[in-house]
Structure 1
Amino acid sequence: MGGRRRQRSSEVALAIRGLLQASGEATHSLADRLGVGITDALALDHLLSHRDGLGPTELGHRLGIRSASATTLVDRLEAAGHAERVPHPSDRRRQTVVATGHAYEEVLGALTPLLERVEAAAARLTPEQAEVTAGFLRDVTAAMRDYAAE
């Protein structure tokens, strides 16, 4: 029984590894489709996931780049019409970077073929399978975030 469980676990671990690799490949493809660099595409992903925006320094930390590089990145995203600096909602001395409506439209347009295929795959699951799968993916996501925070 232990060997069978280990084999199933290994299959799941391999599938997750493949998913992570495919995610990286999809991010590179998105960057190509948008005509931006990979760091810009990753920054857009963070900004689109945080409707209230992120501070330039926080964005830099999430991307693993220095403050000066983050400033240059935000300048680039602004020039492309993908982001804008707005006053921080509670501290007027600070700025927040938010994705523009143009960025939402452009990224959604570029991702639509992928999103449709993901939805088609999800539609093949029974409601029970979907619930278990979603819970499992949330657990894996939490594990990855915990690992990143350590």
Structure 2
Amino acid sequence: MIRASGDIRAALARRLGIGPTDAAAIDHLVASPDPLGPVELGNRLGIRSASATTLVDRLVQAGHVERTPHPGDRRRVALQVTDHAFTQVVEALSPMLTGIEQAVDRLTPDQAAATTAFLREVTTVMRTYATPTNPPPP
């Protein structure tokens, strides 16, 4: 599944006509529960500040992302995926999501419960691994 995740991101980039880093940026922006600014986005992507600025400029120019005032700090900028880009992502992922829904529909209630428990446990392990034990200073 981990390899498939990278393949999915590459396929999404191809379907949207953007590069893999652009697709990863959109993925992070859509998935983040909190507003992300250019610095946070760059940190999540593992790229330097100048590269993050270039990336954001490119996404804004293409109409995929817009800069908005940060809801918690008026001195900062938050990045938001545009409605048009979000619709494009959903449409591009639709065949895969339909296939997943069909696979879920074929599970018995016991299989669904076991699968849910397994996936929750794996998710916890993955998040624990991804969380730095000694976060870098701000």
Greater CA drift, 131-140 or 84-93 = 131-140
Amino acid at match of 1:143: V
How much has 1:51 moved relative to structure 2?
6.0
Greater CA radius of gyration, 1 or 2?
1
Check conservation: 1:82, 1:100, Cα contact below 8 A.
yes
More helix by share: 1
| Other structure's SS at 2:71 match | coil
Match of 1:101 among 76, 83, 87: 83
Matching residue of 2:135: none
Which residue is 1:35 aligned to? Answer: 17
Gaps of at least 5 residues in structure 1 are 1-18
CA displacement, residues 84-128 of structure 1 (integer Å, 9 cap, x when unaligned): 110111210001001110111000011100100011111111223
Q: CA deviation at 1:64?
A: 0.8
Whether the aligned pair in 2 keeps the contact of 1:74 and 1:83 (CA below 8 Å) is: yes
Q: Which runs of 4+ in 1 moved over 3 A?
A: none
Distance 2:61 2:90 in 1: 20
Q: Percent identity?
A: 58
Aligned-residue CA RMSD in angstroms? 1.3
TM-score (norm 2): 0.89
Q: Which amino acid aligns with 1:21?
A: R
Aligned partner letter, 2:19: G
TM-score by length of 1: 0.83
Deviates more, 1:120-129 or 1:100-109: 120-129
Equivalent residue pairs, number: 132
